[in-house]
């Protein structure tokens, strides 16, 4: 037995908190203090109104000095709330902060019981367990790990752009990795933005060019993260750069190659225009694309056959490029490895797949459109230059906008997508402006809870846009009366008028909800994050840690966390950047020492712990054939400790001696 753990030298101070009446009303705190005072090794035992207050903490510090205490137990609320407070107090009093133990007699006792005597007996038992345990505590050291100052931002929508710029402006080096050929995300497709109707391009493109030009930002578009190792402050990330067949450093964005392509006319569906327009095999996604670099689509370029280089084309593009020599048909994908200290994930959303609701006729009736398609259709730089020309060649005289397609629906997605009411009203306004058509909105509730949003709704009502409350049953083309012939008929129960209505229109717009990306689960695994039931990335705390994830050093911004509008995405991106800055500017992180370690002499190298570790912290030392736990990665979950067949893994703060003493204390009969 060593001296400190051999009981005779242990001098414990015990404090039971009244927490106003939160505890004192159900637990006889004086009785608890009196009871504990008589336990072995206890030198001082007191009750106090608010232990977490400054005087409460000073009380502990004074007693440490006066009575030579070397262990402290506080019986109060949950350690989640105040363990840190008391450890700091104990440290300020001159002790190792881990010579402290906290007993929860509020959430675990006073709040959940109704019999004062029994609750008091329980408090005594819990306190006794804590007293027994703390005697076994060892001094532990908080380790400091340096934080690499560079940051990775994944996803170049408005959220990723804003986060990257914020960090770059404060002098940090940022890697911005975007999957598509250009940054901009969904916002780049919009004509105007609600509720102010300012031009989306006018407010977005300056930020995009700033990203492109900023010396602190390395922009890798057309790229994806394929691997991440390491831990907070020290991530090692591998990025795959897909070949554009155009050398980014040499291309000036003059687009001569595009005009000289053997295809005289654009022929292939253009994804940026939601397939409403066409592009050539060599193209730039949209005029303001950042970076201003063209790319070649090997699936359709004549110099390839099904993606494989054949060199069969005359290549007028290469000739047009001339001395710049920017076109390189032999370009291969590249893997880049980078080191960063923090990561911001801002991968955004995808819109609901309308094929899942065949009753709305998308794909069957040409004049049924998704909202994103309409964003392109009303856009001056869109495929029709802003002319709302339907697929059947007509201009619409009446338009129905169906809200909540793939939102608030038990059969598809249960959540509200938050932006669809607002963007539907925006599109209603723009369509009216472009076509002078009669416009009908079909809604469940109008959700306009943002600054200036309700006023926007009022404005729409004044403009004479119709609002019909009811979830649409179907869109069909069967005519009940001759006037309906050749129209799309929207069948809906008007729940305000209490009648079923048939509204014939020329054009239907489906306000599709926001969903997690199809590959969200992969991205989640890549970055060791969690997803909620809907598949959006999970924040650490819905109120108090909304941009943190459960992995330290990885933060969330924008719609990948939940559907939200541009103002909220930008605000969250700023918050995520600030969280990253805290880590970078602190320069190091402190690690909770509740990590596990392997007693090498006892480890048989059976490897059974390795696959169990949720944080991939365990590896096998190749030379010694023993398990090794990377302290920086270990989160102290204890899984390996419990699973080790030879009992050779020990976890700080949860050593066998500590836990067994606690159990003994708990089970000993209360003799008062």
Partner 1 sequence: MKYSYFPGCSLKGTGRAYEESLLPVLKVLGVELEELDDWNCCGATAYMAVDEVKACVMASRNLAIAEKAGHKELLAPCSACYLVLNKTKHYLHESPVVEAVVQKALRQANLTYSGNTPVRHPLDLLVNNVGIEEIKKHVKHPLKGLKIAPYYGCQIVRPYATFDDQYNPTTMDRLLEAIGCTMVTYPLKTRCCGGSLTGTLPEPGLLCSYILLKEAITRGADVIATVCPLCQFNLDCYRDKMKGKWGHETIPDPRNKDARVPVGPHLDIPVVFFTQLIGLAFGLSEKELGLQRGFAPMRKPACAQRQSAAA
Ligand X SMILES: Cc1cc2nc3c(=O)[nH]c(=O)nc-3n(C[C@H](O)[C@H](O)[C@H](O)COP(=O)(O)OP(=O)(O)OC[C@H]3O[C@@H](n4cnc5c(N)ncnc54)[C@H](O)[C@@H]3O)c2cc1C
Of residues 325 and 394, the one with the C-beta less far from partner 1: 394
Whether residue 147 contacts residue 584, with contact meaning beta carbons closer than 8 Å, is answered with: yes
Which of 223, 367, 441, 476 touches partner 1 (CB under 8 A)? 476
Q: What is the dihedral of CA 423, 427, 430, 435, to 10 degrees?
A: -170
Question: Hey, CA dihedral for 611, 612, 616, 619, is it positive or negative?
Answer: negative
Please compute, for residue 6, the number of CA atoms within 13 A of its CA located in the half-sphere on the CB side. 5
Of residues 154 and 320, the one with the C-beta less far from ligand X: 154
Only segment of 118-126, 473-481, 575-583, 605-613 that touches partner 1 (CB under 8 A): 473-481
Q: What is the dihedral of CA 223, 189, 505, 353, to 10 degrees?
A: 20
Of residues 56 and 406, the one with the C-beta less far from partner 1: 406
- Choosing among partner 1, ligand X, none, which partner's interface includes residue 351 (Cβ < 5 to 8 Å by kind)? ligand X
Closest distance of CB 485 from partner 1, Å: 7
Only segment of 109-117, 235-243, 470-478, 567-575 that touches partner 1 (CB under 8 A): 470-478
Q: Which of 139, 136, 135 is nearest to 98 (CA)?
A: 139
Only segment of 280-288, 356-364, 414-422, 570-578 that touches partner 1 (CB under 8 A): 356-364
Only segment of 86-94, 262-270, 351-359, 548-556 that touches partner 1 (CB under 8 A): 351-359
Of residues 346 and 489, the one with the C-beta less far from partner 1: 489
Which of 328, 353, 438, 474 touches partner 1 (CB under 8 A)? 474
Closest distance of CB 358 from partner 1, Å: 4
Whether residue 344 contacts residue 529, with contact meaning beta carbons closer than 8 Å, is answered with: no
Of residues 482 and 669, the one with the C-beta less far from partner 1: 482
Query: For the chain, how are helix, strand and coil distributed in percent, rounded to 5?
Result: 30, 25, 45
Q: How many residues bind partner 1 (CB under 8 A)?
A: 13
Of residues 80 and 500, the one with the C-beta less far from partner 1: 500
Cα–Cα distances (Å) from 322 to 249, 250, 298, 443, 609, in that order, read: 15, 11, 21, 56, 60
Of residues 364 and 625, the one with the C-beta less far from partner 1: 364
Residue 54, token pair as written in the block = 């400054």
- Choosing among partner 1, ligand X, none, which partner's interface includes residue 158 (Cβ < 5 to 8 Å by kind)? ligand X
- Choosing among ligand X, partner 1, none, which partner's interface includes residue 553 (Cβ < 5 to 8 Å by kind)? none
Of residues 330 and 410, the one with the C-beta less far from partner 1: 410
* Contact residues for ligand X, defined by CB under 6 A: 154-160, 177-180, 185-187, 190, 193-194, 224, 346-349, 351, 371-372, 375, 419, 423, 426, 517, 523, 558-559, 564-567, 569
Q: How far apart are CA 244 and CA 334, in angstroms?
A: 11
Which of 117, 480, 525, 647 touches partner 1 (CB under 8 A)? 480
Find the helix packing angle between 158-169 and 200-213, rounded to 10°. 50
What is the three-class DSSP state of 32?
helix
- Choosing among ligand X, partner 1, none, which partner's interface includes residue 474 (Cβ < 5 to 8 Å by kind)? partner 1
Residue 535, token pair as written in the block = 């598949």
Closest distance of CB 639 from partner 1, Å: 37
Of residues 87 and 564, the one with the C-beta less far from ligand X: 564
- Choosing among partner 1, ligand X, none, which partner's interface includes residue 441 (Cβ < 5 to 8 Å by kind)? none
- Choosing among ligand X, partner 1, none, which partner's interface includes residue 157 (Cβ < 5 to 8 Å by kind)? ligand X
- Choosing among ligand X, partner 1, none, which partner's interface includes residue 477 (Cβ < 5 to 8 Å by kind)? partner 1
Binding of residue 478 to partner 1 (CB under 8 A): yes
| Helix segments in 256-355, DSSP class H | 256-260, 316-321
Residues between 67 and 106 with contacts to partner 1, criterion CB under 8 A: none
- Choosing among ligand X, partner 1, none, which partner's interface includes residue 357 (Cβ < 5 to 8 Å by kind)? partner 1
Of residues 93 and 504, the one with the C-beta less far from partner 1: 504
Q: What is the dihedral of CA 427, 431, 436, 442, to 10 degrees?
A: -50
Closest distance of CB 352 from ligand X, Å: 9
Binding of residue 334 to partner 1 (CB under 8 A): no
What is the three-class DSSP state of 560?
helix
Find the helix packing angle between 656-667 and 116-134, rounded to 10°. 150
Of residues 100 and 527, the one with the C-beta less far from ligand X: 527
Closest distance of CB 159 from ligand X, Å: 3
Q: H-helix or E-strand containing 573?
A: helix 566-586
Q: How far apart are CA 122 and CA 670, in angstroms?
A: 9
Q: H-helix or E-strand containing 218?
A: strand 217-220
Residues between 483 and 502 with contacts to partner 1, criterion CB under 8 A: 485
Q: Which of 393, 391, 496 is nearest to 441 (CA)?
A: 496
- Choosing among partner 1, ligand X, none, which partner's interface includes residue 359 (Cβ < 5 to 8 Å by kind)? partner 1
Whether residue 371 contacts residue 421, with contact meaning beta carbons closer than 8 Å, is answered with: no
**DSSP designation for 109:** I
Closest distance of CB 212 from ligand X, Å: 14
- Choosing among partner 1, ligand X, none, which partner's interface includes residue 426 (Cβ < 5 to 8 Å by kind)? ligand X
Whether residue 486 contacts residue 379, with contact meaning beta carbons closer than 8 Å, is answered with: no
Q: Specify the residue for token string 């303001």.
A: 288
Cα–Cα distances (Å) from 124 to 29, 72, 101, 165, 217, in that order, read: 9, 16, 15, 56, 59
Binding of residue 477 to partner 1 (CB under 8 A): yes
Whether residue 472 contacts residue 360, with contact meaning beta carbons closer than 8 Å, is answered with: yes
What is the three-class DSSP state of 4?
coil
Of residues 247 and 526, the one with the C-beta less far from ligand X: 526
Binding of residue 357 to partner 1 (CB under 8 A): yes
Of residues 291 and 406, the one with the C-beta less far from partner 1: 406
Please compute, for residue 365, the number of CA atoms within 13 A of its CA located in the half-sphere on the CB side. 25
Closest distance of CB 217 from partner 1, Å: 48
Closest distance of CB 466 from partner 1, Å: 24
Show Cβ contacts of residue 505 under 8 Å, excluding neighbours closer than 6 positions: 396, 398, 399, 400, 440, 487, 488, 489, 490
Whether residue 507 contacts residue 488, with contact meaning beta carbons closer than 8 Å, is answered with: yes
Binding of residue 482 to partner 1 (CB under 8 A): yes
Of residues 426 and 635, the one with the C-beta less far from ligand X: 426
Could you tell me the strand order of the sheet in which 217-220 lies? 217-220, 174-177, 151-154, 342-345, 554-556
Closest distance of CB 440 from ligand X, Å: 18
Of residues 346 and 402, the one with the C-beta less far from ligand X: 346
Contact positions vs partner 1 (CB under 8 A): 357-359, 361, 364, 474, 476-480, 482, 485
């Amino acid at each position: 037995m060593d001296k400190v753990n051999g009981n005779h030298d242990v001098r414990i101070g015990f404090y039971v908190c009244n927490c106003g009446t939160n505890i004192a009303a159900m637990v006889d705190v004086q009785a608890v203090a009196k009871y504990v005072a008589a336990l072995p090794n206890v030198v001082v035992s007191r009750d106090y109104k608010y232990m977490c207050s400054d005087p409460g903490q000073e009380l502990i510090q004074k007693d440490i000095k006066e009575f030579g205490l070397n262990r402290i137990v506080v019986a109060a609320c949950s350690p989640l709330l105040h363990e840190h407070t008391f450890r700091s107090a104990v440290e300020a009093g001159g002790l190792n902060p881990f010579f402290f133990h906290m007993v929860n007699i509020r959430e675990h006792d006073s709040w959940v019981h109704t019999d004062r005597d029994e609750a008091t007996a329980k408090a005594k038992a819990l306190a006794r367990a804590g007293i027994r345990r703390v005697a076994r505590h060892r001094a532990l050291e908080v380790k400091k790990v340096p934080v690499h100052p560079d940051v990775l931002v994944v996803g170049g929508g408005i959220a990723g752009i804003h986060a990257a710029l914020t960090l770059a402006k404060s002098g940090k080096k940022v890697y911005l990795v975007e999957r598509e050929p250009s940054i901009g995300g969904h916002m780049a497709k919009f004509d105007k933005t609600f509720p102010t109707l300012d031009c989306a391009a006018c407010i977005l493109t300056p930020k995009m060019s700033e990203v492109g030009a900023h010396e602190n930002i390395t922009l890798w578009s057309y790229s994806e993260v394929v691997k991440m190792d390491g831990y907070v402050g020290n991530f090692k990330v591998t990025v795959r750069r897909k070949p554009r067949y155009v050398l980014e450093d040499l291309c000036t964005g003059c687009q001569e190659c595009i005009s000289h392509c053997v295809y005289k006319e654009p022929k292939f569906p253009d994804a940026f225009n939601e397939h409403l327009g066409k592009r050539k095999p060599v193209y730039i996604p949209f005029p303001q694309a950042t970076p201003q670099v063209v790319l070649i689509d090997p699936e359709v370029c004549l110099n390839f056959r099904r993606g494989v280089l054949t060199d069969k084309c005359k290549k007028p593009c290469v000739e047009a490029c001339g001395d710049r020599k920017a076109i390189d048909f032999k370009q291969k994908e590249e893997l880049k490895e980078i080191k960063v200290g923090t990561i911001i994930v801002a991968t955004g959303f995808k819109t609901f797949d309308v094929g899942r609701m065949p009753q709305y006729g998308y794909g069957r009736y040409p004049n049924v459109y998704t909202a994103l398609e309409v964003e392109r259709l009303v856009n001056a730089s869109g495929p029709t230059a802003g002319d709302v020309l339907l697929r059947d060649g007509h201009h619409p005289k009446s338009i129905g906008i169906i809200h909540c397609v793939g939102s608030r629906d038990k059969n598809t997605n249960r959540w509200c997508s938050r932006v669809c009411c607002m963007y539907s009203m925006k599109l209603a306004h723009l369509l009216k402006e472009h076509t002078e058509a009669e416009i009908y909105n079909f809604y469940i509730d109008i959700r306009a809870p943002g600054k200036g949003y309700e006023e926007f709704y009022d404005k729409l009502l004044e403009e004479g846009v119709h609002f019909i409350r009811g979830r649409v049953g179907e869109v069909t083309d069967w005519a009940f009366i001759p006037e309906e012939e050749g129209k799309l008929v929207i069948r809906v129960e008007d729940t305000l008028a209490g009648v079923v209505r048939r509204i014939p229109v020329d054009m239907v717009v489906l306000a599709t909800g926001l969903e997690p990306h199809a590959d969200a689960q992969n991205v989640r695994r890549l970055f060791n994050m969690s997803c909620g039931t809907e598949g959006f990335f999970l924040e650490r705390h819905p109120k108090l840690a909304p941009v943190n994830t459960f992995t330290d050093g990885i933060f969330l911004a924008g719609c990948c966390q939940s559907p939200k509008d541009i103002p909220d995405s930008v605000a969250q991106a700023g918050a995520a950047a600030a969280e990253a800055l805290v880590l970078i500017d602190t320069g190091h992180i402190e690690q909770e020492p509740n990590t596990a370690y392997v007693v090498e002499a006892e480890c048989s190298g059976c490897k059974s712990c390795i696959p169990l570790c949720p944080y991939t912290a365990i590896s096998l030392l190749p030379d010694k054939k023993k398990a090794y736990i990377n302290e920086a990665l270990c989160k102290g979950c204890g899984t390996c400790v419990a699973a080790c067949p030879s009992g050779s893994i020990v976890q700080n703060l949860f050593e066998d001696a500590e836990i067994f003493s606690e159990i003994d204390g708990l089970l000993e009969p209360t003799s008062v």
